[in-house]
Structure formats: structure tokens, C-alpha cells
């Protein structure tokens, strides 16, 4: 049980769209990721997703209108809702909280689908 | 489904040790609180608690040694672990993620026990 510095953990990796696990709570995981460019439209059937931006600005594309999420802001995407995260700045640092069962690309089988996340 | 600015939400209340609900995900709630002074030793039998500091510095007293948590840092207190949050700076702004069943004072019945949290 140690204090985790989010910015220090973000320095430990460079790849975009590859969430790293940094904590566990109540069957969910805390994950850190870097976003660059645009991801892919997808939804998670059974998982609500929490995204907190800690650096840069993210655009969350949604079918009923985009949301802009800056540093110190968060958005919760409920289960079943199609979304597509986009880096509005060159690079965005994100902290996510979501059930351990969550696959990054949800219902989409994509080249970026990850099934075994690294812990840092 | 809207972007939430954490600092703006913290401006909406002044009381210390009174978490406000700002989001729901997967049976858990996202809460914001202000800490001033010292809380009370307690534990949560069934809930892990996530504390992210967004302003100031918190000391998390633990039976096996304190942890200092500054702005941009978090700590997860596993279920069953006794803890006592203390504001190390005059005021600390905190974001918590914990199951909706979580009572702020855990196993302790205290004057500060809250059973009906406000949503902001």
C-alpha cells in the first residue's frame, strides 16, 4: 500500500493506446495510458469506463456529440455507449478506472486489441 | 454524459469530511471531499477505497507507517485496513472512488458519520 505518483508512472512507458495497470480496487483496475491520434469506435457491453485526463486534452467522440476533457477533468462512459477517444493535443495522459474484465477495444476486434496488460 | 471539472466541483462546497457524489460507475461512486485537520481511525470491512489528491497534501495514517499523498498522487486502502486521513496542508482536495455501500467512517460510529450524501 504505497502512494502512486501518476506523472512518474506515465514516464515509465511511451506507447500510445496500451493501458498499464497501476492499482486494483473492488474488482476494478486503475490504469494509465497515453493517447496520441485517434482510437476506434467501440462500446463495452458490461462495463462503465472512467477517464481522468492528467495532461493534455482529450476529445471523446460520442454519437450524440463530442465532449472535450482537459487536464483535471473526467468523463464516465456508461456501458453500451459507443465512443471513440481522440487526442486533441499531441499527447494526452489518462487515468482510467474500469472492471478488470474490460478489453480496451470493447466489442471491436482491432489490431490494437490487448488482452494481457502490463503492470507498472 | 458530461465532462466534470474537479476543481470547479470543489468550489461548490466548503465543509470538510463531507463527500459529495459526482459520478457512478459499476456500482461504485466517484466522490469529492475537502479534508481539514484529522479524521478518525476506521476500516471498511468490504470496500477498497481509492483516494486521489488534487490539491494540497494528505497524510494517510496506517498502522504500519504513514503515507504522504500529494497533488497528482493516489493511494488505495484495501478493505479491512485501518486508516486515518489527515490534512497535512491547511486544506486538501480529494477525489475518491469506492462502492456505493461505503460509509465514510466505516466501522466507527462517529459524530461525522454520514449516511445520505449530496450529489453535486
Is residue B119, in this structure, part of any structural domain at all?
A: no
Please report, for the domain that includes residue A46, its CATH number: 2.60.120.10
What would the pLDDT profile of B47-97 be if each residue is shown by its tens digit? 999 999 999 999 999 999 999 999 999 999 999 999 999 999 999 999 999
Instruction: Enumerate the residues of chain A whose CB falls inside 8 A of the CB of residue B72.
Output: 5-7, 54
Q: State the residue range of the domain holding A41.
A: 21-85
Is residue B95, in this structure, part of any structural domain at all?
A: yes
Is residue A2, in this structure, part of any structural domain at all?
A: no
CA distance B113 to chain A (A): 22
- Reduced 3-state DSSP string for B51-106: EEEEECCEEEEECCCCEEECCCEEEEECCCCCEEEEECCCCEEEEEEEECCCCCCC
CA distance A64 to chain B (A): 10
Give the three cell numbers for residue B40.
478518525
What would the pLDDT profile of B2-59 be if each residue is shown by its tens digit? 999 999 999 999 999 999 999 999 999 999 999 999 999 999 999 999 999 999 999 9
Interface ipTM: 0.95
Is residue A15, in this structure, part of any structural domain at all?
A: no
Residues whose CB is less than 8 angstroms from the CB of residue A82 and which lie 6 or more positions away in sequence, other chains included: A41, A42, A43, A62, A63
Is residue A113, in this structure, part of any structural domain at all?
A: no
Q: Look at B74 and A24 and tell me if their CB atoms are within 8 Å.
A: no
| pLDDT tens digits in sequence order for chain A, 120 residues long | 899 999 999 999 999 999 999 999 999 999 999 999 999 999 999 999 999 999 999 999 999 999 999 999 999 999 999 999 999 999 999 999 999 999 999 999 888 999 889 999
| Nearest residue, CB atoms, A75 vs list B4, B69, B98 | B4
Is residue A11, in this structure, part of any structural domain at all?
A: no
Is residue A95, in this structure, part of any structural domain at all?
A: no
Is residue B1, in this structure, part of any structural domain at all?
A: no
Contact B19, B96 (CB under 8 A): yes
Q: How many domains does chain A have?
A: 1
CA distance B27 to chain A (A): 9
Amino acid at each position: 500500500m504505497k502512494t502512486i505518483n501518476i506523472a512518474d508512472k506515465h514516464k515509465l512507458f511511451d506507447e500510445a493506446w496500451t493501458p498499464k495497470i497501476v492499482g486494483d480496487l473492488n474488482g476494478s483496475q486503475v490504469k494509465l495510458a497515453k493517447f496520441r491520434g485517434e482510437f476506434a469506435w467501440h462500446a463495452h457491453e458490461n462495463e462503465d469506463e472512467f477517464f481522468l485526463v492528467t495532461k493534455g486534452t482529450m476529445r471523446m467522440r460520442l454519437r450524440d456529440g463530442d465532449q472535450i476533457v482537459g487536464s483535471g477533468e473526467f468523463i464516465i462512459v456508461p456501458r453500451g455507449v459507443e465512443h471513440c477517444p481522440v487526442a486533441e493535443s499531441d499527447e494526452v495522459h489518462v487515468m482510467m478506472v474500469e472492471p478488470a474484465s474490460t478489453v480496451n477495444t470493447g466489442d471491436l476486434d482491432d489490431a490494437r486489441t490487448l488482452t494481457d496488460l502490463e503492470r507498472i
